[in-house]
Amino acid sequence: MLKYMLKFLMVIFFMNFMMIKNKMGMFYYNLSFLVSFMMLFVYMFKDLIWVDLFLNMGVEFYSIWLVILSGWIVGLMMMCLNKWDGKLMFMFINLAVLLIMFFLSVDLLTFYLMFEISLIPTFFLIIYWGGNMERLSASYYLMMYMLLISFPLLIYIMKIYLFSLSLKFSLVSMIMYMYDYSLGGFLMIYLAFYIKMPMYIVHIWLPKAHVEAPVYGSMILAGVLLKMGSYGLIRLLEVFIYMSMKFNYLILSLSIIGSVMVSMLCLIQVDMKSLVAYSSVVHMNMMLCALMTMYKLGSLGAYIMMISHGLCSSGMFYMVNLFYERSGSRLLIFNKGMMSKLSSMMLWWFLLCVANFSFPFSLNFFSELMILMVILNWNLCMIIYLMMVCFMSGAYSLYLFSYVQHGVKSYGLLKFNMSLMKEFLVLIMHFYPLLVLMLNLVMLM
């Protein structure tokens, strides 16, 4: 099975060399979608998933859909380009290789290296292709948060090696599951992943990076890069299962309060992109709460939310960019009453907004249902916070939709370019997997 995985990686790697002669963008994004689609056939052999390991790589139950999501989102990023840009395509292809290698890592050191190296293309996407001068401070925030906090994790990986004499996840989890550590050790291990998610208090870099990044930067950031932190948490919670239960309540209580606070913050945003970025923080903190309960259903709910949020949030960033290209501003006041100017986009705006607040029956709905069940089972007193988060989530999503679509437009241009077929295709390819996965949820079990 893994030989097919290596073939997929080689296809993506050799796309770099194809770019020298072949400059057809359509060829590359179709190839990305094909690689992503072909991964479904690997999923058929999931019962033999740990049998075939090679080059520190292997597929695992929690990684397979994230690999598919990586290929899908990178293909959609390539579709966003209006004209051929060799440097950008080079960044996209290498970012896809790094992401897939990260999700296929079965070795702690390879896992850590891919986790950190994936920061480099993201840094260049913001600093080189970003729009405003604030992109410099945004990229520095990104770099400082990631590098300073992840270095203690590398030191701790060396300490793990001294104890277990192996860095393979399967072996380390057999030896280290009863390992005892202090609160300092807990933070050294997990803080790098909490920041990547991002957890409340260390979330400041995310809205800054989103607002300054170009549309394809925001799509990969919301679609896949935030999921690296969640996936890293799932893998390491399996390793340090007992000691994680000792301190998890601290993170859970902080995350649930953070979800309420950031939900309120969403309601006072004036920038569309900033609102979508803060809504990502709310979803990620809810997901973190489910993971911290250490229930199996919590892990499953968090995993489904990773997939659904990746598609939904990426689609919303793309939609915001479509309006930004036409009106020249991301401010809500300048994009008011767009239904009269750009009515063909209204349905897609509505579908993505209702998916964002987990309307039945979207994939987000099933994930949030599992998350709510798990958190309430952990502590019934959490119902007050969860009611507030669910209400605010619906409020800011509908606020965004109604403010943008309705009202009288009195600013900006009077004429707008009509939508292109490619734009509809990108939006359909964001929403269609949300629908298909909903109709066959057994694929995620």
CA 370 – CA 379 distance, rounded (Å): 14
Rounded to an integer, the average pLDDT of 188-200 is 90
Across the chain, mean pLDDT equals 86
Rounded to an integer, the average pLDDT of 190-201 is 90
Contact 310, 283 (CB under 8 A): no
CA 273 – CA 254 distance, rounded (Å): 25
Q: How confident is the model at residue 391 (pLDDT cuts 50, 70, 90)?
A: very high
Q: How confident is the model at residue 21 (pLDDT cuts 50, 70, 90)?
A: confident
Please give the structure tokens belonging to residue 296.
């199996």
| pLDDT tops 70 at residue 17 | yes
pLDDT in tens, 142-157: 888 888 888 889 998 9
Please give the structure tokens belonging to residue 403.
């403010």
pLDDT in tens, 206-264: 888 888 888 998 999 998 999 999 999 999 988 888 888 888 899 999 999 999 999 99
Contact 227, 66 (CB under 8 A): yes
CA 218 – CA 207 distance, rounded (Å): 10
CA 233 – CA 292 distance, rounded (Å): 9
Rounded to an integer, the average pLDDT of 395-419 is 75
Give residue 420's pLDDT.
Answer: 79
135-164 and 205-212 helices cross at what angle (nearest 10)? Answer: 130
Pick from 127-131, 139-143, 147-151, 369-373 the range whose average pLDDT is largest: 369-373
Q: Quick one: what percent of the chain has pLDDT higher than 70?
A: 93
Say whether 249 sits in a helix, a strand or coil.
helix
Q: How confident is the model at residue 415 (pLDDT cuts 50, 70, 90)?
A: low
Q: How confident is the model at residue 337 (pLDDT cuts 50, 70, 90)?
A: confident
Please give the structure tokens belonging to residue 181.
């550590």
Rounded to an integer, the average pLDDT of 70-78 is 92
Contact 203, 139 (CB under 8 A): no
Contact 370, 290 (CB under 8 A): yes
Partners of 271 in the beta sheet?
331
Rounded to an integer, the average pLDDT of 357-366 is 87
CA 274 – CA 335 distance, rounded (Å): 14
Strands (DSSP E) along 113-170, which ranges?
Answer: none
| pLDDT tops 70 at residue 413 | no
Please give the structure tokens belonging to residue 337.
């009453």
Residue among 253, 438, 429 nearest 358 (CA): 438
More confident of the two residues 2 and 206: 206
Rounded to an integer, the average pLDDT of 382-409 is 90
Q: Quick one: what percent of the chain has pLDDT higher than 90?
A: 36
CA 176 – CA 174 distance, rounded (Å): 6
Give residue 412's pLDDT.
Answer: 53
pLDDT in tens, 98-109: 998 899 888 899
Residue among 328, 92, 77 nearest 218 (CA): 77
Q: Which residues lie below 8 Å from residue 380, measured CB to CB, with a gap of 6+?
A: none
Which contiguous run of DSSP H or E holds residue 210? helix 205-212
Q: Which residues lie below 8 Å from residue 334, measured CB to CB, with a gap of 6+?
A: 327, 328, 411, 412
Give residue 323's pLDDT.
Answer: 87
Partners of 107 in the beta sheet?
168
Contact 416, 326 (CB under 8 A): yes
Contact 197, 189 (CB under 8 A): no
pLDDT in tens, 263-274: 999 999 999 999
Q: How confident is the model at residue 443 (pLDDT cuts 50, 70, 90)?
A: low
Rounded to an integer, the average pLDDT of 110-125 is 90
Alpha-carbon Rg for the chain in angstroms: 21
241-266 and 226-239 helices cross at what angle (nearest 10)? Answer: 150
Rounded to an integer, the average pLDDT of 314-323 is 92
